[in-house]
Amino acid sequence: MKIYIDGKHYDREDARISVFDHGLLYGDGVFEGIRIYNGKVFRLRDHIGRLYDSARALALEIPMKETEMQEAVLETVRINRKENGYIRLVVTRGEGTLGLDPGSCAKPSIIIIVDDIQLYPKEYYKKGIRLVTASTRRIPPECLDPRIKSLNYLNNILAKIEARRAGALEAVMLNTQGFVTECTADNIFIVKGGRILTPDPAQGALDGVTKRTVSELARERGIKYAESTVTLYDLYAADEIFITGTGAEVMPVVEIDGRKIGDGRPGPLTSALIEDFGKLVAV
């Protein structure tokens, strides 16, 4: 494995960053998780665009043009000869002092890791998964805009711990007003009356790249799609539910908080979108 750090590629055992890097000390930085399918990087331009938007929102100036970053990612994939896998692209504030002041960091650090991805068992896509609602609330947009994909994921990690302790794969996170936002690492969708609804980013949901892709696939099928305010009642009363993410892709949900969704099996619309997504990434 060769890992890119600030313009050079290192063997895994030699890949190092400073203990004074503010990404480590304070979670000060941004990242993207990107899939590789059949030797092609999926939606690279969208991911890079979101990375730079997140950085601008944090007043973090990335010392590369977007086109240069795209090429650095592609080069690292080529060097690692990875046909199918996962890319973790990280930009930290860089090395500084022990104080919070980002002005002590002279230059951001750029890290690109290309590795295998641990896929979910195929049975999950056929039988569906169950979710629980976490007591941990999503950080409100007034405090940190959810569209910023920052290195500080402690909020999501606490909710993930709740899911694991409940024996569930994922947990639904609510905002401080009690509306549904997303899961710990995935966007969530409901199907009701042939229409798809998903929480609006203004409620605290990440604007996921896979989410955007699925919305396009739904519209191509002529399915009505909208971002809106979603409640737990909407989840419990849904005909179908599915989640999306870089790792999960399109995953059916058949139970939430002990309540069966629909007939307790992946619904027809969800199954159709799983098939459509599979065809898209296979090209």
Q: 166: which 2 tokens?
A: 């409940």
Q: 173: which 2 tokens?
A: 């996170």
> Which three-class secondary structure state does DSSP give residue 130?
strand
Contact by Cβ (8 Å): 69, 48: yes
Contact by Cβ (8 Å): 180, 201: no
- Judge whether 192 counts as a catalytic residue: no
Q: 177: which 2 tokens?
A: 């007003």
One of 82, 149, 160, 211 is an active-site residue; which one? 149
Phi then psi for residue 187, to 5 deg, are -80, 155
- The enclosing H or E element of 240 equals strand 240-245
Contact by Cβ (8 Å): 249, 277: yes
Positions of E strands within 61-211: 85-92, 109-115, 129-133, 170-174, 180-183, 187-192, 195-199
Residue type at 213 in one-letter notation: T
| Rounded Cα distance, 221 and 124, in Å | 24
The residues carrying an active-site annotation are 149
